[in-house]
Amino acid sequence: MHRRVMQVEFVDTRVVSWRVNLEFFVPGTAPAVKVGDELIRLIPIADLPGAQFPVVSQGNGHASPVWQPTPQETGQHLASALAFRASEILEVEPEQLPELLAAELARIVSADADDLRLNPSALLAAGALIDAERRYYPALRERLRVEEELHQVAFRAFGRRRELQRQWADLFDKTNCAWECLRRARADWDAIEAAVRRPARRLMENPWFRSQVEELARNLVLVVGVAGLPGDRWILETTYEAPLTFRHSVGRLARLLQSLGWRFWPLVVRVCERGGSQQLQVTAPAGAEIAGIAAEPAAAGTAPEPVPASGGTSHAHIQLPADGQVRYGATVFARLARPGWLTCSWLVAVAIGYAMVLSRLEMSVLFSASPGLAGTAAALLPVLLGVFTTLLIGGRQHPLVSRLLLPLRLLILLDFAVVLIAFGSLVLHRSDTPLPVLLWTVLAGAALAVALLVSICWLLPARRSPTRNR
């Protein structure tokens, strides 16, 4: 793989659309299949999460057609490759593999990830059992060591005994959790056919084979067939959809600030491909902007540092290191765009707050029995219509922008209720009744609070390095 250019657009609040331009050279080790009278070389270009089969279109880098095998054909090729590698590890001929084990290998590459979680295969059950044993027995040995040391410490050494007791309590909880995982893993393992237990465990003890099996169980491998000689240059374009995840803050205060839009909204997208020079381009929908992008290795310790990129517009891009062994996950930090709906809401909230505070201070004039009362009440109608129009326009936003605007809409809705109550109080008031001082005090305070909160929403989050404000 020479170069990848990945373009991401937001479909809604759960899905993003990927358009990936690929530039690669046909390797000499690519397997070949006969399609009609032509020799087609199979090239795996990506492994994608989920079971959605992407569309591959031809670019302008080559004149020959692109052949894409069906998921069933791809699964057959992958199952054959896994069976061949399994026979090498087990030191048997491929045709000597147990039929049940060959069926499990075929199921790994063909079954849905949810189905594999509900009904684990022999290989995945063996991997879960190995992990559970590796967690439980070391934790148990450490707990027994702390217990033995605790029995040897004299009672007068209160500080040391207290420290060991805390360690023992932590190890006790850790051991109990590990034992529960081991118990479930053993229950799943006991449900596996006895004929495949030993070879399945032997295969999953091989780190390389296990990593391939677990990755194929989670992802769909995208394979294309090209007609050409080794070393030929190709440019292809793939389009597909992938899930989008909102990363919420851990602390309660941070979650509250994020819900109010005072912190960046981290949107996590998975960069599914590896290898070659990679560039990620993200386009925000109208009404939102990208404050920055941070790409981090999916596995800790596989790259020296995360890769940040600044933003501040509706379009941002980031250049990833050309490392064929590292898979990155990208976090897109989004916020509402200042122009448009946000600024309009801020102006409306400030105008309503100013009008309500001024009306509270001049209640005697506002509630006078003069003929100008109807005109004074009618003066609130443009503000009321402005709020109502703002709410209507906000309903036509992109689904992602609508979610980011949700707290702001609730604040404007509160302002809308304040104006309605004030308008009703003016219309229904009679000259022989006392002025509703308490009601208008509450209304003025609510309008002023909304204006303050919307002003903070307009100012925050500040445009600085988003990696420091998640």
For 372-412, how does the pLDDT look when each residue is reduced to its tens digit (9 = 90+)? 554 555 555 556 666 665 555 555 678 888 888 888 888 88
CATH of the domain at 258: 2.60.40
Which residue from 209, 213, 210, 220 is spatially nearest to 72, judged by alpha carbons? 220
Same domain, 332 and 363: no
Low-confidence ranges of the chain (pLDDT < 70): 49-65, 249-250, 272-274, 298-312, 322-325, 369-396, 463-470
Confidence (pLDDT) at 66:
75
**255-274: b or e for each residue (b if 16 or more CB lie within 10 Å)?**
eebbebbbbbbbbebbbbbb
Across 427-448, b (16+ Cβ under 10 Å) vs e yields eebeeeeeebeeebeebbebbb
331 shares its domain with 347: no
Its pTM stands at: 0.73
Token digits of residue 67: 């052949």
H/E element holding 39? strand 38-49
CA pair distance 217, 49, nearest whole angstrom: 10
11, 118: one domain? no
CA–CA gap between residue 332 and residue 338 (Å, rounded): 18
Residues 99 and 191 in one domain: yes
Say what the pLDDT of residue 189 is.
Answer: 92
Domain count for the chain, please give it.
3
DSSP state letter for 371:
T
pLDDT of residue 83: 92
* Residue 397 belongs to domain spanning: 341-459
Q: Bin 261: left if φ > 0, else alpha if -120 < ψ < 50, else beta.
A: left
Q: Is residue 44 part of a domain?
A: no
pLDDT of 419 reads 83
102 found inside a domain: yes
Check if the beta carbon of residue 346 is closer than 8 Å to that of residue 412.
no
Residue 50 within a domain: no
Looking at 280, 308, 337, the residue that finishes a domain is 337
Residue 49 lies in a domain: no
Residue 234 falls within a domain, yes or no? Answer: no
Report yes or no on 237 lying in a domain. no
Q: Are residues 332 and 345 in the same domain?
A: no
Q: Which one, of 364, 351, 353, 375, lies nearest residue 427 by Cα?
A: 375
Do 89 and 210 lie in a common domain? yes
Q: Could you read off the pLDDT of 48-106 as tens digits, one per residue?
A: 766 555 666 655 455 556 778 887 888 888 899 899 999 999 999 988 888 888 888 88
Query: Do both 321 and 348 map to the same domain?
Result: no
Contact between residue 219 and residue 78 where contact means Cβ atoms under 8 Å apart: no
Q: Are residues 113 and 213 in the same domain?
A: yes
- Asked, for residue 409, whether it belongs to a domain, the answer is yes
Q: Look up tokens 């090209």; give the residue.
A: 226
* Domain co-membership, 100 together with 175: yes
User: Within this chain, do residues 83 and 197 fall inside the same structural domain, yes or no?
Assistant: yes
**Res 307: pLDDT:** 52
| 329 plus 261 within the same structural domain | yes
State which H helix or E strand residue 44 sits in.
Answer: strand 38-49
Q: Is there a single domain that holds both residue 259 and residue 187?
A: no
Of 314, 337, 360, the residue at which a domain comes to its end is 337
Q: Does some domain include residue 406?
A: yes
Indicate the residue among 304, 337, 370 that finishes a domain: 337
